[in-house]
Amino acid sequence: MIALVTDSMSQLPPTLRTRYDVRIVPMTVVIDGIPLREGIDISTEEFYERLAAGAAITTVAPAPGEVLVEYQAAAERGATQVVSIHSGAAWAATIDSVYKAAPMSPIPVEVVDTGLVSFRVSCCVWSAGEALADGGDLATTVAAAKRTATNVGNVFVVGALDLVHANGGTDRRAPGRDGTAIQAWEHGEMLQVGTVYDVDATLDVMTNYVARRAAGLPQRVGVGDAGSTDLAEAFAARLRALPCVTELVHYRIGPSVGGQTGPDTVGACFFPI
């Protein structure tokens, strides 16, 4: 039996975690000097309350021993191999701990360094889980995760709450207002793919971006938010209406990522089936 392992910075939602029985190594979020394990010692809601109150936030990668605990637990539950899928070294030191823990595991570990961060890593886990569900072996599962790492797209807006609050009858294109950027990662670079002044334009630009990048291929999609739930739900509804979207899940942007993006981000990650 092959077990999947990732870390909490992947933002893997409970729906996918349960479906594929994924083990998650918790990141540590230090809030005003107090270390708290993401998803264990502090909830996402509690984190944003602390962030809004002005707390100082830093994130610490798990130690090799913390990664090893999950490999051992997988073995105890009957796994004979592990596929361990994580963020790239440019984003977190987790992958270093994974490489140190893997040789100490009681069962063989195949490490997948996605080179990505946040839910794009979960997309790789999602793809690997589907490969396993279809009866795939180790090579097939690893290949699925790596293929998705090269094909996953995303689009997002930071400042979503400002757009929601400003969504009234005034002309937000007035001189002196720069608008809000819609951004995306493409080929390892951050690009600005649009500038918007209201909610409707935000939904239009982000939905059209997903449709264009999908190029007619069926897609699995994750929509995430850091508090702008209404906007995220409206975005999800737009995406579900696209013929290319075969499955969509919602996830909350948790402490290890939300501490960097802030409390008002909405976005989507998507990959071809």
- Please state whether beta strands 245-252 and 219-225 pair in parallel, antiparallel, or not at all (unpaired): parallel
Tens digit of pLDDT per residue, the chain (273 long)?
999 999 999 999 999 999 999 999 999 999 999 999 998 998 888 998 998 899 898 999 999 999 999 999 999 999 999 999 999 888 889 999 999 999 999 999 999 999 999 999 999 999 999 999 999 999 999 999 999 999 999 999 987 655 544 444 333 433 335 688 899 988 778 899 999 988 999 999 999 999 999 999 999 999 999 878 889 999 999 999 999 999 999 999 989 898 777 778 899 999 999
pLDDT score for 176: 39
Domain 2-27+62-150 has CATH 1.20.1250.20: no
Q: CA–CA separation, 65 vs 240, rounded Å?
A: 41
Query: DSSP labels for 123-176?
Result: HHHHHHHHHHHTT--HHHHHHHHHHHHHH-EEEEEE-HHHHHHT-SSS-TT-TT
User: Where are the domains positioned within the chain?
Assistant: 2-27+62-150, 153-272
Distance CA 14, CA 204 (A): 29
Neighbours of 174 (CB within 10 A): 8
- Cα–chain-centroid distance for residue 193? 20
Asked if residue 91 lies in contact with residue 114, where contact means CB atoms within 8 angstroms, the answer is: no
* Residue 108 to residue 95: CA distance in whole angstroms: 16
Residue with tokens 């579900």: 240
CA distances from 201 to 19, 119, 243, 245 (A): 35, 24, 21, 21
Nearest to 11 by CA among 259, 234, 188: 259
- DSSP states of 91-122 as a string? T-THHHHHHHHGGGSSS-EEEEE-S--THHHH
In what order do the strands lie in the sheet containing 265-272? Answer: 189-196, 180-186, 153-158, 265-272, 219-225, 245-252
Instruction: Determine the Cα–Cα distance for residues 182 and 105; give it in Å rounded to an integer.
Output: 42
Return d(Cα 121, Cα 10) in angstroms, integer. 5
* The CATH number of the domain covering residues in 153-272: 3.30.1180.10
Specify the 3-state DSSP secondary structure of 228.
Answer: coil
Distances (CA, A) of 219 to 23, 27, 166, 192, 207: 25, 29, 32, 22, 13
In DSSP terms, which residues pair with 192 in a beta bridge? 183
Q: What is the pLDDT of residue 168?
A: 44
For 54, list phi and psi in degrees, rounded to 5: 95, 20
Q: How open is the CA angle 240-242-245, to the nearest 5 degrees? A: 65
Q: Would you state the structure tokens that stand for residue 240, as one six-digit string?
A: 């579900």
